[in-house]
Every structure is written in C-alpha cells, then in structure tokens.
Amino acid sequence: MTQSLVQNASLPAAAEAPWWKGAAIYQIYPRSFADSNGDGIGDLAGITTRLDYVAALGVDAIWLSPFYPSPMDDFGYDIADYCGVDPIFGTLADFDALVARAHALGLKVTTDLVFAHTSDRHAWFAESRASKDNDKADWYVWADAKPDGSPPTNWQSVFGGPAWTWDARRGQYYMHNFLASQPQLNVHNAAVQDALLGVVRFWLDRGVDGFRIDAINFSMHDPELRDNPPAPPSNKVRTRPFDFQQKIHNQSHPDIPLFLERIRALTDQYEGSFTVAEVGGDDAVREMKLFTAGDGRLNSAYGFDFLYADRLTPQLVREAAEQWPDTPGLGWPSWAFENHDAPRAVSRWTPEGVDGQAYARMKMALLCALRGNIILYNGEELGLDQVEIPFELVKDPEALKNWPLTLSRDGARTPLPWAAGEAHAGFSIADPWLPLGSTHDALAVDRQQDDPASLLNLTRQLVGLRAAHPALRLGRDARWIAEGDLLGFDRIADGDHIRCLFNLGGAIIDVAAHGAGGTPIAALNGADPAHLPPCGALWLKLEGTN
C-alpha cells in the first residue's frame, strides 16, 4: 500500500478567517483545459462543463489565465480589450455562465489581470500613438530618441532585445518590457490608474471574487529614464541581454504600492474579494512583502521560489517559508510548484532512479502542508510531466526568440488528458493547438478517477485534510528540520498540531526520533512513524503539544 490517510471530523472549528486565507486555488489555462466546440482550443464553455471535476478536488477557487480579446502574440497576456472575451474562448454570456456554475458548486472565481502593458492592438494604444497631444498621449511610456537616434535608455526586454521600439507615427520610441507588441502602460498617470480600476470594478460587478495581478512590479518605470547598471558577474548561463543588467529603473518604482492601495480600497467594497500579486525578479521577496504589507495593500503575493528551481531541497523549502513568519503586518504568502510559465515540477525535481509518480505524491503532500495559500496548476493533480515540443511546433514567443537556450513554456501548456484511448485523450475532436504528451494518455482523468491509489484521488484527500485541520490551513510554522534529504516542520493552531516529514531523496531515512509518538493522518509511499522510504511523506497528529 503506497498511501494511508485518515479523515478527522471532530476537529475544532478554525478561527474566523476570510475564505482565501489558507485556500487551495486551482489554476486553469483556458486554451488547454477543455474544448467544447471542436476547434482544438479550450474555451469557457469547456471549463464550465468540467467544473464538477474541479470542485471534487476540494479546492476553494479557480484562477483563470487570460481569456480576453487578444492577437495572442503572448497567448492572452497581450490584452486588446480588458472588458471582453476573445471569440476563441466564447462570449461574455459564456463567462457569466461559468461564474454562475462555479458559485453553485461553492467555487470562487479569480481572473488574471495584466496591468503593466496592453497589446499594441488595444484602442488606448491606437489613440496614444496617433499624436503627442491627444487625450491618451501619455497613457503609454513614450520618449524621444537620443541625438544619435538610438533608444532613450539601455533597458532590455525580458524576451530579448531593447525595451524600446521606434514608432514613426509619433516620431518617438515606446517602451515594452516584454514583446514589442506589448507596449508599457504609464501607470504613473492617474487617468490610466482610473481606467484600470474601472476594469477591476467591471469584473467584480460580474461576480468575480478576486484577481491574480500579473507582473505587477513591472507596472511603473523611472520617469527620469536613467540607464540600468550592469549586473555583477555570474556563473549562470545568460540567454538574454536582460540578464546582463540590474533591473532597477525599468521596473519596481516605489510608487507602485500607492496604486495597489487604490486597488485594495476598491476591492474592499466587494465582500470577500481577493488579490494576489505575481512578483518575479532579483528583489522579489522584498517587493512581495512591500506589496502586501498591512491591511491596505494586496492580500497575498507569490514569486518564483519553486517555479524555476531545478532541484527541490529541504534548505530551499525552509528558506522560502521562513521569509514569511507569522508576524503582525507581514503579508500572507501564496505558493505554486507549477504554472503556465514554468516547466512541470515532476520533470525538474524527480531524482535519477526515483519513480516519478511516487515523487509526485510526495510533492503534492508537501505543497498541501505549506503555510499560506497553495496554487495547483491544471494537470498537476494527474502527475503530468513536461512535454518535449519540437521546434516546428513551438508557439511560445520567448522560446522562439531565444532558441535553444530558453526552454519552451509550451511543454507545460499542453492539453489536459480527459479520456484514455480517445482521440487527443478526450480534449478535443480536432488536432489541438499543442500536442499532448506521449505519457499523458496513461495519466488521463478517467483512468485515475476510479483508482483509489491514483495521484488524483490522493490530491482530493490531501486537499480535504488540509481544509479539515486548522493547523494545516491557518497554523504557524515551528520546529524546522532540513538535514540532508530530510525536511520536517510543524504546523500549529489552537487545539491542532501536525508534524510534517518528507524524504526528498533516494535513500531510506530513520525518523523515529522526529515522530515523537504522533498518530499518522497521512503516510505516503510506504512511510511509517519510524522510516521514510524514498519519496516518503508523513503527516503526524500530535496531542497536547501546542
């Protein structure tokens, strides 16, 4: 038997807390979740038909990656209209139906908002570029060329090349931190902020419960247009000019928190609303804390502690978690091991010679034990691995610009397998926009649904245990262990004390001394209170030790 879990229905009630605190959130990448109309691309109606599956996971909410009108240069993160639905995904009526069904199932709905830039097809940009004196002339970041005609600063874009593109209509350069077709909004401008707040209100009025705000630390630049200094020498392979600079003037302006306070003031008018920031970069932890400090900014933030880590180590987990102690005024963290931008964790982290599905079970138990919100990426509950996409099928613009040194994000964006043996594993009757992984048919939902030992059913049980135990959902951390491959920590709330032990390596670990007589509520991959086999995981209920 690879796993043993015990449900406990007689636990004390958790302290009164907002729904999102300690929540489990399921990220849906709409293009690849479920196709209802047979065009090979997932859509909103497809998501709605599969919400029962999501609700059965026991999660509290869904997070929808962008579904707005877009030319899809960056697959929806280049928004051409903040208040609509791209026809490939359906209509606003389809979105309303999705929200209604989710709410009927007890699921909150959060959506992705991109406030650092728009598509160059957005009507705001069309007006802004038309002249230097129209109503939206200052809604984007424009600057004159240097006397020699070169760009205004040395800033580089994330996707490669200068962060400036010449526009003959205005006779100026416009800034873009990402693709040239993603012009930078001038969020210093109060009118731009007002317009973005109007977007927030639009979706809240349609029943949305919260937002994940993309790349928010890119939303404001240095108005003095100072050059970035060079980055210090590094042993890491640098694939982009962006990596050769300290990114201190093209992003991360100190006025960003003032804008976040305006967002929070608005969302607080809607009971139960939730905001989480995505923050990457060299100074992410400081900015995450800044963006969530006190009660007047965003509710939570998550970074890239785990998303781009090539190894999962006890030290990494401990260091990441200890940056967020249970301290008054300090923000509440969110954690993700996988998402649409990062390679599948089971492919990055599984040690050589270790069974990938056993590792996936341990990894899920670890995620569900962390203090903070947890975000599961669609397919993570099935144990999907990274798909090797041949160059001729690559869609990811970042990979195309930096091939072959930048791993394609497409390998984590492939369609979800619903039915083994069916065409395209039941995702669509048409050829899908990206190919399914060769191993994914065997991991399809229908194969795992009725298998008590499957990762899918284990995920349901772990998420249920997390929700049932106040210590796991809301408790503080204590008694960290990070010794070799052994990771351990306690989660403690009033009347509830759980000890969590994990073997991240390939050899058996004696943990008899660390168990301290606890009663197992979860024991995975052959673990018992004395031993952790490779990929072993234990959750132990301790009595009278708060």
Q: What does the alpha-carbon distance between residue 501 and residue 278 come to, in Å, rounded to a whole number?
A: 29
Residue 200 — left, alpha, or beta (φ > 0 → left; ψ -120 to 50 → alpha)?
Answer: alpha
Q: Cα–Cα distance between 544 and 492 in angstroms, integer?
A: 11
What is the residue whose two structure tokens read 């240097």? 146
Helix, strand, or coil (residue 100): helix
Q: Can you state the angle between helices 356-369 and 455-468, rounded to 10 degrees?
A: 10
CA 392 to chain CA centroid, Å, is 27
Cβ neighbours of residue 499 under 8 Å, at least 6 residues apart?
Answer: 479, 488, 489, 490, 514, 515, 516, 518, 538, 539, 540, 542
**Residue pointed to by tokens 């929806």:** 76
Name every residue whose Cβ is closer than 8 Å to that of residue 525 and which is 6 or more positions away in sequence. 2, 3, 358, 361, 362, 533, 534, 535, 536, 537
Q: Which of 86, 209, 214, 490 is catalytic?
A: 214
Q: Which residues contact 250 (CB under 8 A, 6 or more apart)?
A: 153, 155, 163, 175, 177, 218, 221, 222, 228
Rounded-to-integer distance, Cα 116 and Cα 454, Å:
41
Q: How many residues does the chain have?
A: 546
Q: Which amino acid is at 447?
A: R
Label residue 196 exposed, middle or buried (CB < 10 Å: 0-12, 13-18, 19+): buried
214 as an active site residue: the answer is yes
Which residue among 43, 86, 209, 278 is the active-site one?
278
Tokens of 519: 């009663």
Any catalytic annotation for residue 422?
A: no
Kindly give the pairing relationship between strand 332-336 and strand 373-377.
parallel
Burial (0-12, 13-18, 19+ Cβ within 10 Å), 54: buried
What phi, psi does 28 have (nearest 5°)?
Answer: -115, 125
Beta bridge partners of 499: 490, 540
Residue 270 is encoded by which pair of tokens? 């809607």
The residues that are catalytic are 214, 278
